[in-house]
Structure 1
Amino acid sequence: MVEILHVEICQKIDSTLLQQDIKDAVKAELCLLEEVILNSLLLGTFFSNEIVKTHVESILCSLNNEKSRTKVKGTNIQLYVYRLVQEEAAIETMQDDNGELPVAANCILPSKEFHGLWENLYYDSGVKENLLDFVETIAVFSDRLVDPNVINCNRVVLLHGPPGTGKTSLCKALAQKITIRLGDRYSHGELVEINSHSLFSKWFSESGKLVMKLFSEIKILLQNPKALVCVLIDEVESLAHARKACINGTEPSDSIRVVNALLTQLDQLKRYPNVLILTTSNVTEAIDLAFVDRADIKQFIGFPTDLAIYKIYASCLKELMRTGIVDQDTIHDMSYLKMLGYEETSETKHSLMLCELSRQSVGLSGRVLRKIPFLAHALYLHTRTTTVPRFLRAMHLAIEKQKEEEFN
């Protein structure tokens, strides 16, 4: 089976060249290369073609596997051209008896804010690929007009797991990624991030009405068939709280009214071919079973394994090298170290030190892991720049301190 090489081309904001001309120029350049680096942004200036240099901001190549590079020959090259939207998210408000409520943030995609986010999220093998396959299947079924009454698809994703594991970031990155990949179907994406806590008004009787009103606004967005609308409900248990538990509460009817309103609106949205519902939860046992049942894919996002931690730390080190805070050095991929049998040489010494730090860090959340390099520099280094071995020693101390604080 021929592998698909996905090539995402970020066109410069001031470029007026036709997308097809850019695709042709980039494809010609790629075919001149024996192999390409995967999942790493290549600047347009990296290439020799003048069209690419002038009109392309960056290029990202990827396969649906864990490879770090691949040969171009023998792959099926698929190209996607897009421009990044520079504007920040707009805050949507609604009026209730308590005044103006910030009920959602609306961001036009692909957004500069999320550029490169997908590539900098590391999970166990298959998590991101499964999510992309899910969305691709939705697109295929929509194109072929598959009857949703025959084959059930609610267009709902539920990511669940402990706090700090990157569930919300993954939802945003997925929305950005599919907007780029489905650029031939949609002119742009819209990420509507619902503020669950604002919707659950302190005037409980208004909450159900606010949910209905917000989803009415979302349906207006869906009237544009060229817009891909991704609705993000973070901490969905705030809105979809288990109705069985509500019966024992002091305001059961109002809590149940909110859940009923949400479920009704989700059932109505699934008839639109251009919508995707992305939800997260830290406590799945608190979610109403009827909502869980509507989720087409339920993906657990746990704490990173040592392999994922190694990728996180390696990406942090490379960023610090890029900015000149840490001296340039080579940090090898784990696959390369494995191929060498994890043999220590002058070339692999620092990478193996990073492996040990990764094993030491198991049990820490992704949010904490990305804070370790900052803490290492702030607490244990007193120079503006440093070497890799000194920085790794500082990271060791920062990890020990963080684990002591979290687990004692």
Structure 2
Amino acid sequence: MSRPLHIEAVQIIQSQASKDTLKNIVRAYLMKLSKLSPGTTITSSSYEDTPELKEHVQSITICDTEHETDVTPNEVELVIHIYTMDQYGAETDTMTDGTSGEEVSAADVWALPADEFHGLWESLIYDGRLKEDTLRYVETALDLTDRGVNPLIVGWSRVVLLHGPPGTGKTSLCRALAQKLAVRLGDRFPRARLIEINAHGLFSKWFSESGKLVAKLFDRVREIASDPRMLCLVLVDEVESLAHARRAAMAGLEPSDALRAVNALLTQLDRLRRLPNALVLATSNLTTAVDVAFVDRADLKRRVGPPAPRAAYEILRGCCEELMARGAVAPRELLFALRILHGSGWAESDHARTSLRLWAVANSAAAAGLSGRALRRLPFLALALHAPRSAQTRTTLLEFIEALSAALKCHLEDEAALLEDEPVTKPQNKNNEIILNGH
């Protein structure tokens, strides 16, 4: 049996063609190609000679990068997804604080697939199979639901927890997963919503109203999820604030109202699990602070750490490709994939020189523990502060990679200087008097 290869095609907003018609058009076009390269996107400029396709389809993405090499159309089963993107952005759901009468932002609601998240999944690079595993987790949960598997016997909660240091792409992965699910499950769920709840803001603002406001917020979530043709994804960012509130309340450091608010949220999450079209995604920057009651509810718990050398290389290679495509770095040169460098035994050659230099920068960045966010900022800083600037010449790729190395060195020096500026806490005796000079 042929392995499936998922194809995602963006339908032009003005197009009135049916999805089935477009699937046939896209399939016919792809079957004419000699090879398909997983991980690539074909834009409309590439199918100028196919007017019917150009009229209706904005772009075609060949997914499933686990196919490590190019494939021919005949050796795979093409699974084609046609979708349009929402152009309007997030709507803010507000609630009224019963004590102050203040209107407070409760959540941002995105109609999916959203234009803002287009291409986000492809841009995220992690070590291991983090993206693939989260996607398979949801697909399996839905499959077991369809089969009528009793969740009291085989248990799953439809809760995913991503934890790790800031800047590693946890929230981005949640948004990208929501977008991917809206595309992949479009035939089953024609509508999809992502409801982003900021747990930190929720609990710092609303302790006075305790569980009542939490219940109101989740009434809105269940209202959205009451449509069986609607896929409802709830993102709880910074979920560690739950642990802080509950732990502090139980220790007598916060009012009991805080404990009621947290317990109300956990109760509401339990109610959501009964809905086959609802999924909860949560992130935490403080692994050890996440409440054990919440952790116990999560089926999938994955740490998202700083990029290892291989992921760092692919992130920086993608940045270089983007800057060359836009003309900020010129002329355009080839950067080898790591599997090619590895296959050559990392041998030095004129063709591999720039790739090997980039590999060295990636290794240095990974050794320093740079987050994905900091790593993606380096190319901008390299161009802005370290690349040669001239009205007559543009930055070459090798010059840019050297500028990347300089930007990395400067970044690490700046980080070290910040640490030196941190105040040192002076020791105190049992009477809270500062001890000076050992006395």
Q: Counterpart in 2 of 1:347?
A: 351
Structure 2 residue aligned with 1:103, among 100, 103, 106? Answer: 106
Give the SS at the match of 1:257.
helix
Give the SS at the match of 1:36.
coil
Contact 1:148 1:271 in 2 (8 A): no
Deviation at 1:407, TM superposition (A): 4.2
Question: AA paired with 2:361?
Answer: L
Deviation at 1:66, TM superposition (A): 5.8
TM-score (norm 2): 0.89
Q: Counterpart in 2 of 1:273?
A: 276
Structure 2: 5+ residue runs without aligned partners? 418-439
Q: Counterpart in 1 of 2:83?
A: 82
Cα distance in structure 2, aligned partners of 1:383 and 1:229: 51
Q: Counterpart in 2 of 1:15?
A: 15
Cα distance in structure 2, aligned partners of 1:20 and 1:346: 49
Q: Does 1:333 align with 2:342?
A: no
Matches within 5 A, 1:197-216: 197-202=200-205, 204-216=207-219
C-alpha distance 125-70 of structure 1, shift in aligned 2 (>3 A): farther
- Per-residue displacement from partner, 1:78-99 (whole Å, max 9, x unpaired)? 1110001111101111000230
Cα distance in structure 1, aligned partners of 2:178 and 2:406: 37
- Per-residue displacement from partner, 1:351-398 (whole Å, max 9, x unpaired)? 111111100111100000000001011111324731101111111100
Structure 2 residue aligned with 1:374, among 380, 403, 410? Answer: 380
Contact 1:103 1:196 in 2 (8 A): no
Deviation at 1:198, TM superposition (A): 2.9
Question: AA paired with 2:380?
Answer: F
Instruction: Show structure 1 runs of 4+ deviating over 4 A.
Output: none
Among all aligned residue pairs of Structure 1 and Structure 2, give the percentage whose two residues are the same amino acid: 45
Structure 2 residue aligned with 1:264, among 238, 246, 267? Answer: 267
Contact 2:38 2:67 in 1 (8 A): no
Q: Does 1:389 align with 2:392?
A: no
Contact 2:200 2:238 in 1 (8 A): no
Question: AA paired with 1:33?
Answer: L
Cα distance in structure 2, aligned partners of 1:309 and 1:203: 40
Cα distance in structure 1, aligned partners of 2:27 and 2:109: 34
Q: Counterpart in 2 of 1:219?
A: 222
Give the SS at the match of 1:5.
strand
Deviation at 1:5, TM superposition (A): 0.5
Contact 1:157 1:296 in 2 (8 A): yes
Q: Counterpart in 1 of 2:297?
A: 294
Contact 2:248 2:254 in 1 (8 A): no
Of 360-369 and 64-73, more deviation after overlay is shown by 64-73
The size of the alignment, in residue pairs, is: 408
Matches within 5 A, 1:12-161: 12-47=12-47, 48-63=49-64, 65=66, 67=68, 69-96=70-97, 97-98=99-100, 99-161=102-164
Question: AA paired with 2:56?
Answer: H
C-alpha distance 83-183 of structure 1, shift in aligned 2 (>3 A): same
Contact 1:193 1:232 in 2 (8 A): yes
Give the SS at the match of 2:80.
strand
Cα distance in structure 2, aligned partners of 1:240 and 1:225: 32
Cα distance in structure 2, aligned partners of 1:145 and 1:337: 48
C-alpha distance 325-373 of structure 1, shift in aligned 2 (>3 A): same
Contact 1:22 1:51 in 2 (8 A): no
TM-score (norm 1): 0.96
- Per-residue displacement from partner, 1:316-339 (whole Å, max 9, x unpaired)? 111111211001111111111112
Contact 1:105 1:193 in 2 (8 A): yes
**Which structure has more RCO (C-alpha within 8 Å, separation ≥ 6)?**
1
C-alpha distance 95-245 of structure 1, shift in aligned 2 (>3 A): closer
Of structures 1 and 2, the larger Rg is shown by 2
CA RMSD in angstroms, aligned pairs only: 1.6
Contact 1:2 1:75 in 2 (8 A): yes
C-alpha distance 55-203 of structure 1, shift in aligned 2 (>3 A): closer
Structure 1: 5+ residue runs without aligned partners? none
Cα distance in structure 2, aligned partners of 1:148 and 1:170: 27
Cα distance in structure 2, aligned partners of 1:227 and 1:134: 19
Contact 2:245 2:258 in 1 (8 A): no
C-alpha distance 12-68 of structure 1, shift in aligned 2 (>3 A): farther
Deviation at 1:207, TM superposition (A): 3.3
C-alpha distance 151-46 of structure 1, shift in aligned 2 (>3 A): same
Deviation at 1:70, TM superposition (A): 2.6
Matches within 5 A, 1:165-176: 165-176=168-179
Contact 1:9 1:82 in 2 (8 A): yes
C-alpha distance 68-107 of structure 1, shift in aligned 2 (>3 A): farther
C-alpha distance 357-66 of structure 1, shift in aligned 2 (>3 A): farther
Q: Does 1:181 align with 2:184?
A: yes
Q: Counterpart in 2 of 1:243?
A: 246
Deviation at 1:203, TM superposition (A): 5.2
Cα distance in structure 2, aligned partners of 1:227 and 1:374: 40
- Per-residue displacement from partner, 1:294-329 (whole Å, max 9, x unpaired)? 001001100101110111101111111121100111
Cα distance in structure 2, aligned partners of 1:383 and 1:194: 47
